Structure 1
Amino acid sequence: MNITHPASAGSLESSDIIVTLKPARQGIRIDLESSVKEQFGAQIEKLISQTLEELGIDAAEVQAQDQGALDCTIKARTLVAAYRAADREDYDWEGINSWIG
């Protein structure tokens, strides 16, 4: 899957996260803003990276604004942003459900 244009998913509500993906030439670069970054920043960045890797995305700029989201929410928002940014609608619901938990 290739990121072709910027796209976002999520909100700034409590217990949510906004994930914005933009095209990049190479690599995954994550810019994370979170009130719990010191405690959970590495885990949040790892979840975003793993989710993009599972989708076959190897180049993207990621901006994430976290409001205390759970792992399943972080994965779900990353998936939706990726599909939107790639103009894809061929969701694999069975596979997605196993990722989110």
Structure 2
Amino acid sequence: MKITKEALAGTIESSDLMVKVAPAPGELDIVIRSEVYKQFGEQIRLVVDETLRKMQVTEGQIVVEDKGALDCVIRARLQSAVLRSVEDASINWEAMK
């Protein structure tokens, strides 16, 4: 999937996160800010990387502002932001499990 416009998903409430995506031709720039980064930063990064790989996102700017969200919430917010940012509406739902 190609990110063609800026999009947001989520909130900055406790146990949630805000994901911002924007086009960045030729590069994949991922920024993760989290209140619990020391304890769970590696796991957050794994979930973000895996979700982007499954969605075939290879370029764009991804900013994650985490407030202690669970993995399933990270995945859902990231998927929502990416889907809002693409023009191609064909979605391979099997790949996003």
Calculate the TM-score normalised by the size of structure 1. 0.85
CA distance in 2, matches of 1:57, 1:48: 11
Consecutive aligned runs of 4 or more in structure 1 exceeding 6 Å deviation:
none
1:25 aligns with 2:21: no
Structure 1, unpaired ranges of 5+: none
1:70 aligns with 2:70: yes
Asked whether the 8 Å contact 1:12–1:18 carries over to 2, the reply is yes
1:6 aligns with 2:19: no
* Identity of matched residues, %: 37
Partner of 2:45: 45
Asked whether the 8 Å contact 1:19–1:63 carries over to 2, the reply is yes
CA distance in 2, matches of 1:90, 1:82: 13
Asked whether the 8 Å contact 1:9–1:18 carries over to 2, the reply is yes
RMSD: 1.6
Calculate the TM-score normalised by the size of structure 2. 0.88
Asked whether the 8 Å contact 2:55–2:95 carries over to 1, the reply is no
Count of aligned residue pairs for this structure pair: 97
